């Protein structure tokens, strides 16, 4: 077997190759959340509420679902899903947030974007979740954005067939400030935790999810105004009400 980029990545992020991190150098910590966009309306989300289904039943029912009904989901349900995947339980001073998902060193370097196709009370378009405020901010309501995201998602039809498609992007320095190059490993682990919470939360409200790892990185980053180096898309997941008997 030849040594490729994947093996080199694992090798070069081993502890023995790491120098002092920027935290150890006493450089300033990066912000816990991206800077606000100057434009775009803010949408206050309703309280996420309390769901108390049986966890074993949810885990038994969890599977990837690519076909959805045309029914919109409610803003209440979207609020619940966002809280389950990135909700802030506590802000620990100016240093960290404690959330509904684990993260290496409580760095929480994942930002959530949403392609809204069918959500009651929200115009279709692209939004960004502001976890510290538990609010949404309009990113773009351009009519063609869904088709552009679909194209960047290699034309996987459930991207636009969903009620909402979650797009998770990494803000790398928020993680590497503490962990150096090894922090890149943790970004991928963290987004996996986020996506699994989405699967389980969706199952608890009768929705299905399908995670997507195949997409055009450069085009997806461009659509979200990310530079592809310091900030980049890691993962997507579609979500919608289930069609009975189909996957």
Enter the pTM of the model.
Answer: 0.90
Domains and CATH numbers, the chain: 41-241 (3.40.109.10)
DSSP for residue 182: G
What are φ and ψ of residue 105, in 5° steps? 60, 20
Query: Which is it for strands 207-212 and 164-171: parallel, antiparallel or unpaired?
Result: unpaired
CB 83 within 8 A of CB 48: yes
CB 141 within 8 A of CB 124: yes
CB 233 within 8 A of CB 152: no
Of the CA atoms within 13 Å of residue 18, those in its CB half-sphere come to 18
> How big is the chain by its Cα radius of gyration, in Å?
18
Please enumerate in sequence order all residues whose Cβ is within 8 A of that of 222, keeping only pairs 6 or more positions apart, or say none: none
Looking at residue 149, what is its pLDDT? 98
pLDDT along the chain (247 residues), means of 10: 77 84 88 77 82 74 89 96 95 87 95 98 96 94 96 97 98 95 96 97 94 96 96 97 72
Looking at residue 137, what is its pLDDT? 95
Looking at residue 139, what is its pLDDT? 95
Cα–Cα distance, 72 to 118 (Å, whole number): 5
Looking at residue 13, what is its pLDDT? 87
Looking at residue 70, what is its pLDDT? 95
């Amino acid at each position: 077997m030849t040594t490729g980029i994947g093996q080199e990545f694992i090798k070069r992020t081993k502890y023995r190759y790491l120098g002092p991190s920027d935290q150890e150098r006493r450089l300033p910590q990066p912000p816990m959340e991206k800077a606000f966009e100057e434009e775009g309306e803010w949408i206050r989300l309703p309280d996420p509420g309390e769901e108390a289904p049986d966890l074993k039943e949810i885990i038994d029912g969890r599977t990837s679902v690519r076909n959805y009904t045309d029914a919109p989901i409610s803003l209440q349900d979207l609020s619940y899903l966002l809280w389950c995947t990135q909700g802030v339980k506590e802000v620990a001073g100016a240093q960290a947030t404690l959330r509904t998902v684990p993260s290496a060193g409580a760095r929480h370097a994942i930002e959530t974007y949403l392609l809204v196709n069918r959500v009651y009370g929200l115009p279709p378009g692209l939004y960004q979740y502001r976890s510290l405020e538990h609010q949404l901010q309009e990113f773009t309501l351009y009519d063609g954005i869904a088709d552009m995201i679909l194209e960047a998602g290699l034309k996987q039809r459930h991207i636009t067939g969903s009620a909402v498609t979650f797009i998770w992007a990494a803000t790398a320095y928020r993680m590497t400030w503490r962990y150096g190059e090894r922090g890149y490993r943790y970004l991928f682990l963290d987004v996996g935790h986020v996506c699994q919470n989405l699967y389980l939360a969706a199952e608890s409200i009768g929705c299905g999810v399908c995670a997507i790892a195949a997409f055009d990185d450069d085009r997806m980053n461009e659509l979200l105004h990310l530079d592809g180096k310091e900030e980049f898309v890691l993962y997507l997941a579609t979500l919608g009400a289930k069609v009975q008997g189909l996957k």
